[in-house]
Amino acid sequence: MKVVCLFGSPKSKGNSAFLAQRFCAAAEAKGAEVETFSLNELTYRGCQACMACKRKHDRCVLEDDLGPVLNAVRQTDVLVLASPVYYGEVTSQMKGFIDRTFSFLTPEFKTNPQNMSRLAAGKSLVFIQVQTADDESSFNDIFPRYAPFFKWFGFADHHLIRACGVPNPGDVKDKEEVLKQVEETASVLFG
Ligand SMILES: Cc1cc2nc3c(=O)[nH]c(=O)nc-3n(C[C@H](O)[C@H](O)[C@H](O)COP(=O)(O)O)c2cc1C
């Protein structure tokens, strides 16, 4: 099984990276092949709405550092998106990636629900969200807003892992329930 993991935080030793790395280590221990990308280290633009991916091309025509990321996502079995909450959203680094997934949709995605996605069906999504606010109801709207689009791409199952009340790097190490959930999610996906 292939795993592609995108780090959405600028902090390489932050809370979201810690959880994502922990998940990836568990996946590797169970035999998965893991590829990671730190979005903050890449140079790329958001979707330019050029519609080239809906007219002459079957992929995004922008030539920047996100091209290899989008290609890796096309080929993976499991996609891990890890982001802190910034102003009630994923980081701009992560949102830039998400907008570019427009290239995964077929030209007829609006009219033909049977053929919306250029990706092979059956992938799994693991969405890791961390935040300072310790109330779980704060920012619980983020994942439900994005999940339907990943359903369009053909992702069959979604796994949400959240750590709330973690303002500083390393705080998540004390969240035993969350760490357990990371291990359990890896067990569900990789046996
Ligand atoms: C620009 C910025 C905006 C933030 N906005 C929020 C927010 O809206 N709600 C919240 O709970 N935490 C917010 N935070 C705090 C981070 O989500 C929190 O520190 C998180 O643990 C950082 O994750 P990381 O260590 O993976 O980078 C914000 C932090 C920054 C730098």
Could you tell me if the CB of 130 is within 6 A of ligand 1?
yes
| Beta carbons of 143 and 129 less than 8 angstroms apart | yes
Largest CA distance in the chain: 51
Amino acid at 162: R
Beta-bridge partners for 6 = 37, 81
**Strand 123-130 relative to strand 2-7, pairing:** unpaired
Buried b (16+ CB within 10 A) or exposed e, 161-178: bbbbbbeebebbeebeeb
| Beta carbons of 32 and 1 less than 8 angstroms apart | yes
- Helices of type H across 63-134: 66-75, 92-100
Q: What's the pLDDT tens digit per position in 84-124?
A: 999 999 999 999 999 999 999 999 999 999 999 999 999 99
Mutate to test the pocket of ligand 1, among 6, 15, 38, 131 (most ligand atoms within 8 A of CB): 131
Tokens of 28: 């590797």
Residue from 174, 95, 94, 185 nearest 134 by CA: 174
Q: Which domain holds residue 30?
A: 2-190
Q: Under DSSP, is residue 108 helix (H, G, I), strand (E, B) or coil? A: coil
User: Residue whose CA is closest, atom 19 of ligand 1?
Assistant: 167
User: Residue whose CA is closest, atom 23 of ligand 1?
Assistant: 84
CATH assignment of the domain containing 86? 3.40.50.360
Confidence label for 36 from pLDDT (cuts 50, 70 and 90): very high
State if pTM tops 0.85. Answer: yes
Q: Which atom of ligand 1 is nearest to the CA of 8?
A: 26
For residue 172, how far is its CA from the centre of ligand 1 (angstroms)?
Answer: 13
pLDDT > 70 fraction of the chain, expressed in percent and rounded: 100
Q: What's the pLDDT tens digit per position in 128-154?
A: 999 999 999 999 999 999 999 999 999
